[in-house]
């Protein structure tokens, strides 16, 4: 599942004390795995609001008891200043992943998204400064491009935020820039583009599209497409995101510091194309899934129509390379879910709010 040897090479030669926030989450647990596998010492912080103990248990099983001894877990919330200060004690490098994701979630509950993603971010950044942390690498988002329509997306040009979530991530970048100028801390932001892979939660109201579709097909439910299926995204396998974090945290290139970077595969596919890729690969293992058709529901408020990243800046300054394209990433992801999810093929209900795929009906596009 992990490119552990590649990551070990990046970390060779120096012991650091790492803090990974959101460590029980999808990206956080993949970072923990790579760091422990490379013999690093890690403190993890999570409140289990969106993370899961099962992710930590999975990492423990994979790295073994000796490497697991290098991990210390702090259960707590980044909205609590004292918790942030405690987690940052003696830490040299912070990988800040903790946040409330999802555009729809932020539209439904902007106050909580703001408190976690903005106040929590400020708490962590302030605690890191107080603890003398050398480098603070944080998760930003392609959502900051907002209303800017030009493709591919380049870091220097963004539009206006289309959702509270995108506003929170833009504020993170602004605060990181201000702190890097006012205090002795090096900050690097990573604008993730639709990260997917093992341990991504397929359930819940705000589940991402790839795990949600995989789980739906394996459970005999209909996979729902928001809109007409021609929306496109730059899907980024989690190994690319892990690599980017480690490169950002360890680079000695002074020109790479206090910057933001697109982290993606650098290519986009439509939701229809994505559905076909998933269905075809699942049908190789479960033949009766070959005739599954999607259902359609309205475009979601706050979603952009198309997204694709220019990753040349990350390549030039961080030596980042997207080692996993969407096809390779899907193969690894499907293998993981097939080993974890039960197959329930007794029925195929159309999910609530969806229309049958054959009708082709979809709601009006509410944001582009």
Q: Does any domain span residue 27?
A: yes
Residue 269: which H helix or E strand, with range?
Answer: strand 269-270
pLDDT band at 58 (very low <50, low <70, confident <90, very high): very high
Are the C-beta atoms of 120 and 99 separated by less than 8 Å? yes
Residue 132 · residue 98 · CB < 8 Å: no
Query: In CATH, what number is assigned to the domain containing residue 97?
Result: 3.40.50.720
Domain, as residue range, for 31: 4-192+238-263
Q: Residue 361: its pLDDT value, please? A: 34
298, part of any domain = no
pLDDT above 80: residue 351 = no
Q: Are strands 186-192 and 135-141 parallel, antiparallel or unpaired?
A: parallel
Q: Is residue 82 part of a domain?
A: yes
pLDDT digits (tens, 9 = 90+) for 265-321: 999 999 999 999 999 999 988 888 888 888 898 887 777 889 999 999 999 999 999
Question: Out of 138, 145, 165, 192, which one is annotated catalytic?
Answer: 165
Find where tokens 């729902």 sit.
224
Residue 278 forms part of a structural domain: no
**Is 320 one of the catalytic residues?**
no
317 token code pair: 């300054």
How far is it, in rounded angstroms, from Cα 110 to Cα 103?
A: 10
Task: Determine phi and psi for 143, rounding to 5 degrees.
Answer: -60, -20
What whole-number distance in Å separates Cα of residue 149 and Cα of residue 142? 12
In Å, how far are 234, 239, 329 from 323, measured between CA atoms? 14, 8, 9
Give the pair of three-digit tokens for residue 241.
Answer: 């995101």
| Confidence (pLDDT) at 350 | 36
Least confident of 120-129, 193-202, 256-265, 343-352: 343-352
Domains held by the chain: number:
1
- CA distance readout (Å), 326 to 203, 268, 281: 21, 9, 13
Residue, of 69 and 11, whose pLDDT is higher: 69
Q: Is 339 within a domain?
A: no
Is 274 within a domain? no
Lowest mean pLDDT among 46-60, 197-211, 225-239: 197-211
Q: Report residue 364's pLDDT band, with 50, 70 and 90 as the boundaries.
A: very low
Residue 335 in domain: no
pLDDT higher for 206 or 108? 108
What is the spatial distance between Cα 14 and Cα 250, in angstroms, rounded to a whole number?
A: 10
51 in any annotated domain: yes
pLDDT the model gives residue 359: 32
């Amino acid at each position: 599942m992990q490119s552990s040897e590649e990551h070990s090479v990046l970390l060779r030669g120096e012991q650091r004390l790492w803090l990974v926030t959101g460590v029980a989450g999808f990206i956080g647990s993949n970072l923990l795995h790579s760091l422990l596998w490379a013999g690093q010492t890690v403190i993890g912080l999570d409140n289990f609001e969106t993370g899961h103990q099962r992710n930590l248990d999975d990492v423990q099983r994979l790295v073994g008891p000796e490497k697991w001894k290098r991990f210390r877990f702090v259960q707590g919330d980044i909205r609590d200043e004292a918790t942030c200060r405690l987690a940052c004690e003696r830490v040299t490098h912070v990988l800040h992943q903790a946040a409330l994701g999802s555009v729809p979630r932020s539209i439904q509950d902007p106050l909580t998204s703001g408190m976690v993603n903005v106040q929590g971010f400020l708490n962590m950044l302030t605690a890191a400064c107080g603890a003398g942390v050398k480098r603070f690498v944080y998760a930003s988002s392609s959502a900051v491009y907002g209303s800017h329509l030009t493709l591919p997306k380049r870091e220097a040009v963004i539009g206006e935020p289309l959702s509270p979530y995108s506003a929170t991530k833009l504020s993170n970048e602004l605060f990181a820039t201000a702190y890097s100028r006012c205090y002795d801390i090096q900050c690097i932001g990573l604008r993730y583009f639709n990260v997917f892979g093992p341990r991504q939660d397929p359930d819940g109201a705000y589940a991402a599209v790839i795990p949600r579709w995989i789980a739906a097909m394996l459970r005999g439910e209909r996979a729902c497409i928001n809109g007409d299926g021609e929306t496109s995204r730059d899907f980024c396998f989690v190994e690319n995101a892990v690599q980017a974090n480690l490169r950002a945290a360890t680079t000695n290139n002074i020109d790479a510091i206090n910057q933001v970077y697109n982290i993606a595969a650098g290519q986009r596919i439509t939701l229809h194309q994505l559905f076909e890729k998933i269905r075809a690969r699942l049908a190789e293992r479960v033949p009766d899934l070959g005739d599954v058709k999607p259902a359609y529901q309205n475009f979601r408020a706050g979603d952009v129509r198309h997204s694709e990243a220019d990753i040349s800046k990350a390549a030039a300054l961080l030596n980042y390379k997207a080692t996993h394209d969407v096809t390779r990433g899907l193969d690894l992801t499907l293998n993981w879910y097939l080993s974890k999810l039960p197959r329930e093929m007794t029925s195929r209900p159309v999910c609530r709010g969806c229309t049958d795929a054959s009708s082709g009906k979809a709601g009006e596009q509410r944001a582009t």
